[in-house]
Amino acid sequence: MATQKGIMNTAMVQAIGVRKQFGSTEILKGIDLTVERGSVTCLIGPSGSGKTTFLRCINHLEKVSAGRLYVDQELVGYEERNGLLHEKKEKDTARARMSAGMVFQRFNLFPHMTVLENIIEAPTRVAGRPKRDVIPEAQKLLERVGLGDRGMAYPQELSGGQQQRIAIARALAMKPKLMLFDEPTSALDPELVGEVLEVMQALAETGMTMVVVTHELGFARQVGDHVVFMDAGVVVESGSPDDVFNSPQHARTQAFLSKVL
């Protein structure tokens, strides 16, 4: 939960009136949201509510149409000069993306590379670090997600749950300050969901700042510090898991929870 310290100083992510339009359809209609450093924030809500779009905005995989979005006190995708927002160059945006790791619903591992190659790709090619430093780190990460012996396998040889754990290891290899999870268990067979959530919980316990779009309300309740309910492009309600799940204030939250729980 938010502490009494100055918000601008501690926030890892700060959204002020963030809007996103695709053509004439407005997906995000002014999102105000603060993600505290070291906290786990879970975004819940019906599909089409804009959760995933907002998450993609944080990493600038989508361009923000209006409003301001700060990650670690840096404006995402734009530069502010003389009171005007200037679009950043693609190269600068790419560099800024390195501070956040992202895990996708459909894993998106690189199918033509082995597990180990997947993990060391960005640290060696993007960050330009030597292989001999990166490989032992990658091996440690693999062990951390419980797949220490699968470094030489190709992604297709692994189960969905294993692939998603590799994807988490790959994102962590860039030593991000922030981890973004986009429905990380939605594409998994039910019996494989647990192993991924366990890895995420262990990660949360290390103090990693996490933003998780999820339909796993059990995870949100147990691991989340902060739950944000979104619907139709706005934040309807947010607060501690206890507040949102046990005494939802808003009718739309109540309706959603009664359908899901």
Partner 1 sequence: MPALTSRRDERPNVTFVNRSVETDALTSSQSDPVVPLRHPVRLAIAIVLVIVAAGVAWDVAMNRGYRWDVVAQYVFAPRIISGAALTVGLTIVAMAIGIVFGTILAIMRLSANPIFRVIAGAYVWFFRGTPVLVQLIFWYNIAALYPVIVLGLPFGGPGIVIGSANVLIAPITAALLGLSLNEAAYMAEIIRSGIGAVDRGQYDAARALGMNGRLLMSRIVLPQAMRVVIPPTGNEIISMLKGTSLVSVLAISDLLYSAQIIYAANYQIIPLLIVASLWYLAMTSVLSFFQGKLERRYGRGFDVRTSRSRRWPLRKAS
Binding of residue 61 to partner 1 (CB under 8 A): yes
Binding of residue 156 to partner 1 (CB under 8 A): yes
- Closer of 35 and 167 to partner 1 (Cβ): 167
The least distance separating partner 1 from the CB of residue 182, rounded to whole angstroms, comes to: 9
Tell me the pairing of strands 66-71 and 226-231: unpaired
Collapsed DSSP state (helix, strand, coil) of residue 22: strand
Helix 160-172 and helix 131-144, axial crossing angle in degrees, nearest 10: 140
Q: Which of 80, 87, 157, 205 binds partner 1 (CB under 8 A)?
A: 157
Binding of residue 27 to partner 1 (CB under 8 A): no
Binding of residue 154 to partner 1 (CB under 8 A): yes
Number of residues that bind partner 1 (CB under 8 A): 32
> For 173, what's the count of Cα atoms within 13 Å in the CB-facing half-sphere?
36
Q: Under a CB-based contact definition with an 8 Å cutoff, are residues 184 and 164 in contact?
A: yes
**Nearest residue to 66 (alpha-carbon basis) of 130, 137, 17:** 17
Binding of residue 59 to partner 1 (CB under 8 A): yes
Binding of residue 125 to partner 1 (CB under 8 A): yes
Per-position x/- string for 164-203, each x denoting binding to partner 1 as judged by CB under 8 A, each - no binding: ---x--xx--x-----------------------------
Residues 92, 69: Cα–Cα separation, whole Å: 16
Binding segment toward partner 1, per CB under 8 A, in 28-36, 125-133, 215-223, 236-244: 125-133
Please give the span between the terminal C-alpha atoms of the chain, in angstroms, as a whole number: 24
The least distance separating partner 1 from the CB of residue 23, rounded to whole angstroms, comes to: 18
Residues 115, 96: Cα–Cα separation, whole Å: 25
Residues 101, 134: Cα–Cα separation, whole Å: 17
* Ramachandran angles phi, psi of 10, nearest 5°: -100, -20
In the complex, the residues that contact partner 1 under the rule CB under 8 A are 56, 59, 61, 90-91, 93-95, 97-98, 100-102, 104, 106, 108-112, 121-122, 125-127, 154, 156-157, 167, 170-171, 174
